[in-house]
Chains A and B, each alone.
Chain A
Amino acid sequence: MNEQTRYSVGIDLGTTHCVLSYLDLHTSEDQQPVLSVLAIPQLTAPGSIEEKTQLPSFMYLAHGAEIAEGETALPWRNPAEHLVGEIARNLGSKTPIRLVSSAKSWLCHTGVDCKQDILPADAGSDIPRVSPFLASKAYLQHLCDAWNHLFPQQRLQDQHLTITVPASFDPAARELTVEACKAIGLTQIVLLEEPQAALYSWIEKNGNDWRNHVKVGDIILVVDIGGGTTDLSLIAVTQDQGNLQLTRVAVGDHILLGGDNMDLALAYTVKAKLEKDGGKRLEAWQLQALTHACREAKEKLFNQPELNTIPLVIAGRGSALIGGTLRSELNREELNRLLVEGFLPEVAVSDNPQSNPRSGLRSSGLPYAQDAGITRHLAAFLSKQIHAVQEFKDIKLPEPASFLHPSGVLLNGGVFKAEVLAQRLMTVLNNWLQAENAPAASLLQGSDLDLAVARGAAYYGFVRQGKGVRIKGGTAAAYYVGIETAMPAVPGLAPELEALCLAPFGMEEGSEQNLPNEEFGLIIGEPVRFRFFASKTRRQDTVGTRLSNWNDEELMELDEIEITLPEEGHQLGEVVPVHLSSGVSEVGTLELKAVSRRNQQQWKIEFDVRTKEEESAQP
């Protein structure tokens, strides 16, 4: 191993925060590796630089006259190329029209082109915009520069780098994340699902002791509630030649619902109270301040059971502090009603998240979850995944089971710092288990709720050196292309669609599968589009399986995929017979290719085709 490649670095590229953790690979065999979290130098206000372990994932598009020259210098660059981190969040709280946030959620938003300048979504026409892709790139660039500033001898480009993505990220969003890394020169990367990273972090924290906390036949449920998203995963514990083996068997849907929603829920309730008493509408900045105050009040109420109410005060913006304050309070009853009952209601396992038909507003914003009941999302996930462990002979579900019975639960995310919420989740889950006479699930303890994902990612780099237990998994879904069946045209009736399986569930990194029996004729120079589907439940389908009917639960439609054959060596308009091939790269992205029948020439099929025409074509 050379001296330049010394560290395993994990980056948690979160919706609201980014964290970078690293581990020295040069430690000796018998030593437990030491994980550190990088203190990231960042601007916190104009002219002031501080080191913080979290880099807020925000970007502020400052007006040219807004900040004096030289006030945005960073230790490695003057002036900073983009304002990201704490300063962006601070400035944006008073000028929200220039603030870019939740760029990551946009990456996984079907129906928008992530390389188009669309953020901030609610900015006026005279404000410059940036693309979600560029914002993600800017956060990565900042982390990369910070690292290279602190480790000039071991540049980040040369280290083993693991980037975490939500387990529910679709192939296009994964591809975009990798592209953003490559755009700033980070090529030695692998992707890791966030809930897996959390489990790796738990294993690392427990050292060799972790084997005593789980046993063969266990199913670990990972509930990761981040700032903006909720990510669910199931990991089975099995046995292979006497060794414990971990396999990620299922992941949940992309649920845009997180800790920030909780603070907002509190803020809106207090706002309603204030407006009822005072009769005056609160302004945007006051709501920001209120959200901040609510977050602190929430933490105090949850951590100090003897308190019953916490007064909330919002200062006016003028220099007169004493006269200009707004006062209200938050009490325990409200907190329980809103957060515990609102976000973790006691529901039956047969309940499903409620969803109302969307109004026409959808295209302008993110598809936030409509049902805030996390337990309902969990119930739906466990019920849907009841067959997830069928193939493992070590795991037996009791009969009759209406949902998959987890035996251990790993919680992740700052939300669970509140004991009350963690307990409530366990109570609800254990009630479901009890109703089916299953043993109660235990809580896996000892994980760092805020930093676990980044820590686990750094540890994963260590595991990849063959130095620890590795979670198997492969792709978390099976992928299909839609093919129109040949049938006589019937007016007013769209031709029937068949789904052709391209990549099976659980396809491992570095493997490839061909589909030689299905031939397509592609016309040179003309883009061809396929409808593209994913299924998180159909585990039995193999490459080439054709489905003629399915329900919406089973197959989820993703963005269309597109292929354009370039002219090189062919005549424009010539028809080339191809077959399709799929593979999972070592990085962890799905790769679809068209292979010529004649000379085995290969063309890549693009995921990211969310173009302008498509948007305007939508009603």
Chain B
Amino acid sequence: MNNFSIDLGLRPTTFDLWHVCLAGAVLILCLLLIVTLIWAILAGRRNKEHSVVTSPPEIKIVEKIVEVEKIVQTPAPEPIILKEASPDAACLLLSLLQREARFIDFIKEDMSAYSDTDIGAAARIVHQGCRQVINEHFTINAISQDVEGNRVTLNQGFDANAFRLTGNIVGEPPFTGTLVHKGWRVDDLHLPKLTEAHNPRIIAAAEVEL
């Protein structure tokens, strides 16, 4: 019968199987502990990150807006914008000219069959009506107050929109030349206003007399 007694003075002199197993178990436990600790720390961090995500969403959105602005601010070539002439205004002017001056009737008619006398009579109606429309809705003035044919001088910085140079264009301003055409400029215009339901494309309604 084996008698187990504890003697603290004893020291092992060789690695026996028990001690090897003991050491192995200690090592495994240590490893387990480390792995558990690391996992616990990682899980804690992940939880912290979760709580950041669920914090007020507005902040996120602001961050996003800032980002978008940054993208816009990146230098890009300016697009060339061409002004679209308003089709409604064009149709409106045509309808006025048709109403007062029978303008479309005149233009759409084949002139070759008629004598100059007939055309002249019709031209009177067209001229009178057009004149009325233009005088009523536009204030048109000559750009240059000089008499056509006179010599005029254009100084540095003249408005190239209002004065067109032709012929022998060399050197620097001031330019001196002959006024060929005095030019026209619309100083004021007031076209009729249209109601919402009005179809401006109908410039003259078909007429049916009952």
Q: Which A residues contact B (CB, under 8 angstroms)?
A: 41, 44-51, 68-73, 75, 78, 94, 296, 311, 313, 315, 317, 319-323, 325, 327
Nearest opposing residue in chain B for A46, CB measure: B198
Looking at the assembled complex, report how far the CB atom of A154 sits from the nearest CB atom of chain B, in whole angstroms: 23
Q: State which of B111, B124, B195, B197 has its C-beta within 8 Å of the C-beta of A313.
A: B124
Looking at the assembled complex, report how far the CB atom of A84 sits from the nearest CB atom of chain B, in whole angstroms: 16
Q: State which of A71, A313, A320 has its C-beta within 8 Å of the C-beta of B198.
A: A71
Are A321's CB and B102's CB within 8 A? yes
Q: State which of A47, A48, A313 has its C-beta within 8 Å of the C-beta of B122.
A: A313
CA distance A46 to B194 in the complex (A): 9
B18 interfacial contact with A, CB 8 Å:
no
Point out the residues of chain B lying under 8 angstroms from A73, CB to CB.
Answer: 195-197
Known contacts being A47-B198, A48-B193, A49-B193, is A321 close to B124, with CB within 8 Å? no
Looking at the assembled complex, report how far the CB atom of A96 sits from the nearest CB atom of chain B, in whole angstroms: 13
Nearest opposing residue in chain B for A324, CB measure: B122
Other than the given A68-B197, A317-B207, A321-B122, 19 more pairs (CB < 8 A) read A44-B192, A46-B198, A50-B192, A71-B197, A71-B198, A73-B196, A313-B121, A313-B122, A315-B102, A315-B122, A319-B108, A321-B109, A321-B126, A322-B106, A322-B111, A322-B114, A322-B119, A322-B122, A325-B125
Are A49's CB and B109's CB within 8 A? no
Q: State which of A47, A50, A311 has its C-beta within 8 Å of the C-beta of B121.
A: A311
Question: Chain B 168-210, CB within 8 Å of chain A: the 1/0 string?
Answer: 0000000000000000000000101111111100000001000
- The 8 listed contacts between A and B (C-beta, < 8 Å) are A50-B193, A71-B197, A296-B128, A313-B122, A321-B106, A321-B122, A323-B114, A323-B118
Q: Which B residues contact A (CB, under 8 angstroms)?
A: 92, 99, 102, 105-106, 108-109, 111, 114, 118-119, 121-122, 124-126, 128, 190, 192-199, 207
CA distance A321 to B199 in the complex (A): 25
Are B118's CB and A322's CB within 8 A? yes
Are A49's CB and B106's CB within 8 A? no
Point out the residues of chain A lying under 8 angstroms from B197, CB to CB.
Answer: 47, 68-71, 73
Point out the residues of chain A lying under 8 angstroms from B194, CB to CB.
Answer: 47-49
Point out the residues of chain B lying under 8 angstroms from A69, CB to CB.
Answer: 197
Are A315's CB and B207's CB within 8 A? no
Looking at the assembled complex, report how far the CB atom of A240 sits from the nearest CB atom of chain B, in whole angstroms: 48
Looking at the assembled complex, report how far the CB atom of A76 sits from the nearest CB atom of chain B, in whole angstroms: 13
Point out the residues of chain B lying under 8 angstroms from A325, CB to CB.
Answer: 118, 121-122, 125
Are A71's CB and B195's CB within 8 A? yes
Q: How many A-B residue pairs have CB under 8 A?
A: 77
Known contacts being A311-B121, A325-B121, is A319 close to B198, with CB within 8 Å? no
Looking at the assembled complex, report how far the CB atom of B197 sits from the nearest CB atom of chain A, in whole angstroms: 3
Q: State which of B105, B122, B199 has its C-beta within 8 Å of the C-beta of A319.
A: B105
Are A48's CB and B125's CB within 8 A? no
The 7 A-B residue pairs with the shortest CB-CB distance in the complex, in nearest-first order: A70-B197, A47-B198, A73-B195, A321-B105, A48-B192, A322-B122, A50-B192
Nearest opposing residue in chain B for A289, CB measure: B125
Looking at the assembled complex, report how far the CB atom of A55 sits from the nearest CB atom of chain B, in whole angstroms: 15
Nearest opposing residue in chain B for A63, CB measure: B210
> Which residue, A51, A94, A325, has most C-beta atoms of chain B within 10 A?
A325
Looking at the assembled complex, report how far the CB atom of A381 sits from the nearest CB atom of chain B, in whole angstroms: 38
CA distance A69 to B125 in the complex (A): 32
Point out the residues of chain B lying under 8 angstroms from A68, CB to CB.
Answer: 197
Looking at the assembled complex, report how far the CB atom of B109 sits from the nearest CB atom of chain A, in whole angstroms: 5
Point out the residues of chain B lying under 8 angstroms from A321, CB to CB.
Answer: 102, 105-106, 109, 122, 125-126
Point out the residues of chain A lying under 8 angstroms from B198, CB to CB.
Answer: 46-48, 70-71
CA distance A51 to B188 in the complex (A): 14
Tell me the interface secondary structure of chain A in the complex: loop
Point out the residues of chain B lying under 8 angstroms from A78, CB to CB.
Answer: 195
Nearest opposing residue in chain A for B102, CB measure: A321
CA distance A51 to B196 in the complex (A): 17
Point out the residues of chain A lying under 8 angstroms from B124, CB to CB.
Answer: 311, 313
Nearest opposing residue in chain B for A73, CB measure: B195
Q: State which of B106, B119, B121 has its C-beta within 8 Å of the C-beta of A327.
A: B121
CA distance A45 to B202 in the complex (A): 13
Point out the residues of chain A lying under 8 angstroms from B193, CB to CB.
Answer: 41, 48-50, 75
> Which residue, A49, A50, A311, A321, has most C-beta atoms of chain B within 10 A?
A321
Point out the residues of chain A lying under 8 angstroms from B92, CB to CB.
Answer: 48
Nearest opposing residue in chain A for B199, CB measure: A47
Known contacts being A296-B128, A321-B109, A322-B106, is A47 close to B118, with CB within 8 Å? no
> Which residue, B114, B119, B122, has most C-beta atoms of chain A within 10 A?
B122
Nearest opposing residue in chain A for B117, CB measure: A327
CA distance A50 to B199 in the complex (A): 17
Point out the residues of chain A lying under 8 angstroms from B109, CB to CB.
Answer: 319-322
Point out the residues of chain B lying under 8 angstroms from A322, CB to CB.
Answer: 106, 109, 111, 114, 118-119, 121-122
Point out the residues of chain A lying under 8 angstroms from B128, CB to CB.
Answer: 296
Looking at the assembled complex, report how far the CB atom of A312 sits from the nearest CB atom of chain B, in whole angstroms: 9
Looking at the assembled complex, report how far the CB atom of A579 sits from the nearest CB atom of chain B, in whole angstroms: 59
CA distance A296 to B50 in the complex (A): 88
Looking at the assembled complex, report how far the CB atom of B185 sits from the nearest CB atom of chain A, in whole angstroms: 23
CA distance A65 to B108 in the complex (A): 30
CA distance A289 to B204 in the complex (A): 18
CA distance A87 to B198 in the complex (A): 15
CA distance A319 to B103 in the complex (A): 10
Looking at the assembled complex, report how far the CB atom of A144 sits from the nearest CB atom of chain B, in whole angstroms: 20
CA distance A72 to B194 in the complex (A): 10
CA distance A510 to B119 in the complex (A): 66
CA distance A51 to B189 in the complex (A): 12
CA distance A44 to B124 in the complex (A): 24
Point out the residues of chain A lying under 8 angstroms from B118, CB to CB.
Answer: 322-323, 325
Known contacts being A322-B119, A322-B122, A323-B118, is A70 close to B196, with CB within 8 Å? yes
Q: State which of B114, B119, B126, B192 has its C-beta within 8 Å of the C-beta of A49.
A: B192
Point out the residues of chain B lying under 8 angstroms from A319, CB to CB.
Answer: 105, 108-109
Nearest opposing residue in chain A for B105, CB measure: A321
CA distance A44 to B125 in the complex (A): 20
Point out the residues of chain A lying under 8 angstroms from B199, CB to CB.
Answer: 47
CA distance A69 to B111 in the complex (A): 38
Looking at the assembled complex, report how far the CB atom of B120 sits from the nearest CB atom of chain A, in whole angstroms: 9
Point out the residues of chain B lying under 8 angstroms from A49, CB to CB.
Answer: 192-195
Looking at the assembled complex, report how far the CB atom of A29 sits from the nearest CB atom of chain B, in whole angstroms: 34
Point out the residues of chain B lying under 8 angstroms from A70, CB to CB.
Answer: 195-198
Point out the residues of chain B lying under 8 angstroms from A45, CB to CB.
Answer: 99
CA distance A68 to B121 in the complex (A): 35
Looking at the assembled complex, report how far the CB atom of B172 sits from the nearest CB atom of chain A, in whole angstroms: 48
CA distance A325 to B197 in the complex (A): 34
Point out the residues of chain B lying under 8 angstroms from A311, CB to CB.
Answer: 121, 124
Known contacts being A46-B198, A71-B197, A71-B198, is A315 close to B192, with CB within 8 Å? no
Nearest opposing residue in chain B for A45, CB measure: B99
CA distance A69 to B197 in the complex (A): 7
CA distance A44 to B122 in the complex (A): 25
Point out the residues of chain A lying under 8 angstroms from B196, CB to CB.
Answer: 70, 73
Looking at the assembled complex, report how far the CB atom of A276 sits from the nearest CB atom of chain B, in whole angstroms: 19
Point out the residues of chain B lying under 8 angstroms from A327, CB to CB.
Answer: 121
> Which residue, A51, A315, A323, has most C-beta atoms of chain B within 10 A?
A315
Point out the residues of chain A lying under 8 angstroms from B125, CB to CB.
Answer: 313, 315, 321, 325
Looking at the assembled complex, report how far the CB atom of B207 sits from the nearest CB atom of chain A, in whole angstroms: 7
CA distance A94 to B209 in the complex (A): 9
Point out the residues of chain B lying under 8 angstroms from A44, CB to CB.
Answer: 192
